[in-house]
Structure 1
């Protein structure tokens, strides 16, 4: 019996919806291999993640997998590296996942610098040169703002009030804030103001994936056209979740597929070459962690005329 430790945000202030989808993918992959999944709720708390990694090491797990929040994944990666315990980050994207190079940590999603660059390309292609952001104090949000400033003509930070947005002259406003609040309240307030009828409201980090009542908000999604494996997994995840699986659920399933290949080859990330739900997965050495370089990146939104359908606006 292979035992795997899983880190998942399942209670507030963690993003519970993302955690539920991530866990569904992890559980499906583990069940197919008759693996034991030892799950711990991080609740978006780095200290809880560190304690969980310590517990996993004491339990003798073969590897640790999961996590959605970047600052939590950072803490888990540092502890796993110190304990020489393999850790595959399923869904967190902050570039600096570790302080330095490590052989013990790998990441499935693309780094933030790549994903947010693709989002900036989408904005430029749509004619948006002056962009406003509403942000909260966070290493993750600050890193995202730096990427946007590297690729756009002007990025101004606002508090999200309609008067301030109008005065800024921005044609797009990005929400770099918590989910569901204050993000949902800001969207509802701005959409009621007739002066901002042409304003694009975006949320790069992916909150609209779980906002069926707020369509038309472009966000980053790490998904691609599904092949036979992806189609089968999508159907099984839909049955398990009772709704369409998000890209986070596919990341969970692919994480287990990667771990199976890595453990089969003696724990080497460099030897991984496996078919995932979203394409062939191989890892390359980066200055920090091992990275899936081919992870798909899309900018999508929910179709205002059919909110259950996603429109692909840009790929990168």
Structure 2
């Protein structure tokens, strides 16, 4: 059951009658400047899992209901949505793709005592202080981006340029890359996407002798014009373009850039070969989306499946859900999911989902190649 417009209802735990829905608040970017493609895939995964939970009897005979709110990549809007959802009686909050938004959601959920299972955001410091209320499925940024740095080093790319925009997410990623490649003789130079035209950026890359350019910028602007400019500059024919945040995973990337968008390595969180559950869910998601599902869609499905197990086994009271994190063991689409405490991370964390560095095959941009796993 998916609900997008709601009337007021009693607080979580107050309704126990059989047949009364158990509500989950879902936060997803469904409008600009949010990454709408990622939001659509995340929501598809959430919705499919809700349908399957309800088809199998719901939560103790009660249907699971998804109450969806669009964050539009706005932290303040997302935090206000957590307040609204808490008042509507949700048992927990799920979702979000953008790290800076998820951080605002986590802070508000912690303050209100609402369990939050973060689906897809990776910023290590999701909360300022350790909390019992928040858990996360996506790997920490430091874990995934170190794998990406190892890929660059293995490919002989040590003079790395990053074109970036102001954001704690991009700044943290840059620091992870620099700290990881420096001991191996690598270097990272930062170029300001807001201060350079794509053509001036190409000149700067030549001046720096860069062997790799990483796109730490928004999609589709300014990422797409930058790729087009670099691809058309003969001086940069040997330059590797990379997008660790995952832009090339989505169909919109291929639609906008065609073959220019191929051969651009990115991070995604999928196993090298899916198991039977992953194959089943992938087929269902593909039919729902009308395209190959991204890792974000699988994250959505896993999110609801994990919370359904928590709700069935530990009850729908918010404190009980938050207390369930360390006791859960759930078969997800990408492997067994368990949560633990990880040094430097203040939330309950799945350590770790599978990590791939992949790209679109230049010979067939609709086909993905796995370049490294970690």
Normalising to structure 1: TM-score of the pair? 0.98
After TM superposition, list the pairs within 5 Å mapping 1:208-223 onto structure 2.
Answer: 208-210=248-250, 211-212=253-254, 213=258, 214-223=261-270
Aligned residue for 1:312?
370
The CA deviation at 1:26 is 0.2
After TM superposition, list the pairs within 5 Å mapping 1:1-316 onto structure 2.
Answer: 1-34=21-54, 35-152=64-181, 153-159=186-192, 161-210=201-250, 211-212=253-254, 213=258, 214-224=261-271, 225-266=273-314, 267=321, 268-286=324-342, 287-316=345-374
Q: Is the 8 A contact 2:95 2:120 kept in 1?
A: yes
Give the gaps of 5 or more residues in structure 1.
none
Aligned residue for 2:318?
none
- Partner SS, residue 265 of structure 1: helix
Q: CA separation in 1, counterparts of 2:339 and 2:313?
A: 14
- Partner SS, residue 178 of structure 1: coil
Root mean square deviation, CA, Å: 0.9
- Partner SS, residue 163 of structure 1: helix
- Partner SS, residue 64 of structure 1: strand
Q: CA separation in 2, counterparts of 1:284 and 1:63?
A: 19
Q: CA separation in 2, counterparts of 1:265 and 1:295?
A: 23
The CA deviation at 1:176 is 0.3
Q: CA separation in 2, counterparts of 1:264 and 1:283?
A: 17
Q: Is the 8 A contact 1:42 1:49 kept in 2?
A: yes
Q: CA separation in 1, counterparts of 2:153 and 2:313?
A: 43
Normalising to structure 2: TM-score of the pair? 0.83
Runs of 4+ in structure 1 over 3 Å off:
none
Deviations 1:143-180 (A, max 9, x none): 00000001112000124521110110110000100100
* Structure with greater Cα Rg: 2
Q: CA separation in 2, counterparts of 1:180 and 1:57?
A: 33
The CA deviation at 1:261 is 1.7
Q: CA separation in 2, counterparts of 1:285 and 1:186?
A: 39
Q: CA separation in 2, counterparts of 1:177 and 1:146?
A: 15
